Structure 1
Amino acid sequence: MKLIIHGGFFSESDQSHDTKIAKQNALKSIIEKSYEFLKSNSSYDTVAYAVSLLEDDELFNAGIGSQIQSDGVIRMSAAIMDGDSQKLSGVINIENVKNPIFVAKALRQEDDRVLGGSGAKNYATEHGFEDFSTEIPQRRSEYEAKLKTGGKGTVGAVAIDSNGKLAVATSTGGKGFEIPGRISDSATVAGNYTNEYCAVSCTGVGEDIVSNATSAKIVTRVTDGMSIEDAFAKTFIELKQIDGFAGAIGIDNKGNIFHQDSYPTMVFASFDGENFEVFE
């Protein structure tokens, strides 16, 4: 059983040392709770749980604390996928729900598994998800001042359970001040992908991640026999060719955990029951 989570990027230039410490502590707490959950649950249920905890923490740009788009509205996206069935389900630009990842998870049972905008919100309402504002005062202040701090943030989780099953989940509150209707990578196979061989979640600039097909490339390369380290390396070389801004976390079916970013510093934490690692 192993688990790795990410919470976007940290920049010394626009975030304080206190914020860095707070994010390190939050990630440690979340991954410890999530690993305990993994002991008695599947990797699929665990990644949803881990991402929901990240969505509930306003330090991160997903769920509560999501960025505000250029028209003053928060729209969020999330997706989840398991390696066995390879069914990806997700929501795109959903409004006024507390945990987009749980709506994405609920869609797994449907034939139409990725919904956007009002359709996603209507589905959430019909299935008992209460109306909930995820806005916090800090984001409104940033919006009104037209600041863009924290605009390269997404949260995600990758896990392998005791049965060797892989799963991945990813959620984002957007980059902030985007054109309404803009679609990020998080609910696409570029930003969130797994099969029985490897699982990968991305964070960064969604347009760069989509252009590079980052998650799908890494997983495909591992499937074709490349090591997870080499698959990451080759994919990030290609990302560099377009000056792409991204970070990614992954686990292969041998239990190898790996992470890489194109521009420091991706916020992440991993735990395998013995060894804990957190970004510095």
Structure 2
Amino acid sequence: MKIIIHGGFFSESDQSHEVKIEKQNSLKKIAKQSFEFLQSHSAEETVVHAVKLLEDDLLYNAGMGSQIQSDGKIRMSASLMNGQTQKFSGVINIENVKNPIEVAQVLMKEDDRVLGGNGAKIYATENGFEDFSTEIPQRRKEYEEKLKTGGKGTVGCVALDREGRLSAATSTGGKGFELVGRISDSATVAGNFANEFCAVSCTGVGEDIVSNATAAKIVIRVTDGFSIKDAVEKTFYELKEIDGFAGAIAIDKNGNIAHQDSHPTMVFASYDGENFEVFE
């Protein structure tokens, strides 16, 4: 059993050393809690659990920490993929729910598994999700500072359970100040993808990740016989050719873990029940 999570990027130029320590401690705590959850739950259930914890943490750009778009509203996207069933579900630009990843999880039972905008919100309401504003009081003040401070980054989790099943989940609050209607990578197979061989979650600039088909490329290469290390390295070499900005976390069916970023530093943590690896 293995688990790895990410929470976007950290920049020394616009975030303090104290914030860095907070993120390291937060990621270690969430990775440990999620690994413990994995002991008695499936990979799919675990990645949802971990991403929900990340969505509830104001340090990250998802759920409660989501950025504000150019019209002053918060819209969130999240997706889930089960490597065993090959089912993908997600919500795009959903408003006024606390945990978009939970809506994506419920959508797994539907034939129509990716919903956007008002349709996603209607579905969430019909399935018992309460109306919830993720705009905490200071978010409106931060709205005026977003262009100067930069984004905090998407969150995600990849897990391998005791049955050898892989799953990936990713959630984002957008990049901040984006055009209304902009769609990120997080609820696409470019940003979140899994099969029986490998699972990947990405963070970074959505347009770059989509252009590079980052998550899907890594998984397909592992499926075709690449080592996970080589699959990640080749995909990021191709990303570099378009000057892409991204980070990725991945686990293969044998429990090998990989992570890479094109513009350091992606914040991540992995835990195997004994040892942590945390970004520095």
Encode CA deviations 1:42-92: one digit per residue, 9 max, x unaligned: 000000000000000001000001000000000000000111111000000
Query: Could you say which residue in structure 2 is the equivalent of 1:241?
Result: 241
Deviates more, 1:30-39 or 1:130-139: 130-139
The letter for the 2-side match of 1:208 is: D
Per-residue deviation, 1:151: 2.0
Aligned to 1:251: 251
Match of 2:97?
97
Partners of 1:144 and 1:14 in 2: how far apart? 15
Number of residue equivalences: 280
Deviations 1:191-232 (A, max 9, x none): 000000000000000000000000000000000000000000
- 1:148 to 1:186, Cα distance in 2 relative to 1, 3 A: farther
Tell me which residue corresponds to 1:232.
Answer: 232
The answer for the alignment partner of 2:189 in structure 1 is 189
Q: Summarize the alignment of residues 1-280 of structure 1 with structure 2, pairs less than 5 Å apart.
A: 1-151=1-151, 153-280=153-280
**Matched AA of 1:91:** V
Tell me which amino acid in the other structure corresponds to 1:34. Answer: S
Percent of aligned pairs with the same amino acid? 77
Q: Which amino acid is the alignment partner of residue 50 of structure 1?
A: A
How many Å separate the matches in 1 of 2:87 and 2:150?
A: 31
Q: TM-score, normalised by structure 1?
A: 0.98
CA offset at residue 25 of structure 1? 0.7
Distance in 2 (CA, whole Å) between partners of 1:238 and 1:193 is 18
Pair 231,277 (structure 1): closer, same or farther in 2 beyond 3 Å = same
1:275 CA displacement: 1.5
**Displacement of 1:152:** 5.5
Cα deviation, residue 137, structure 1: 3.5
Cα distance in 2, alignment partners of residues 150 and 37 from structure 1: 33
Letter of the structure 2 residue corresponding to residue 241 of structure 1: E
Q: Secondary structure of 1:64's partner?
A: helix
Larger displacement relative to structure 2 (135-144 or 210-219): 135-144
* Alpha-carbon distance in 1 for matches of 2:74, 2:54: 17
1:169 match: secondary structure: strand
Note the residue ranges of structure 1 that are not aligned, 5 or more in a row: none
Distance in 2 between the 1:184 and 1:269 partners?
A: 23
**For 1:182 and 1:148, how far apart are their aligned partners in 2?**
21
Residue by residue over 1:11-55, the C-alpha shift from the partner in whole angstroms, topping out at 9 and shown as x without a partner, is: 000000110001111101111110110000000000000000000
Q: Distance in 1 between matches of 2:189 and 2:18?
A: 34
Distance 2:7 2:157 in 1: 9
Determine helix, strand or coil for the equivalent of 1:147: helix
Alpha-carbon contact 1:9-1:150 (below 8 Å) kept: no
Deviation string, structure 1 residues 141-169 (Cα, Å, up to 9, x no partner)? 23224525342610000000001100000
**For 2:229, what is the secondary structure of its paired residue?**
helix
Aligned counterparts of 2:203 and 2:141: Cα–Cα separation in 1: 24
The separation in 2 between residues aligned to 1:152 and 1:146, in whole angstroms, is 10
Cα distance change of structure 1 residues 11 and 191 upon mapping to structure 2, 3 Å threshold: same
**CA–CA separation in structure 2 for the residues paired with 1:181 and 1:97:** 18
Aligned mates of 2:248, 2:142 — CA distance in 1: 27
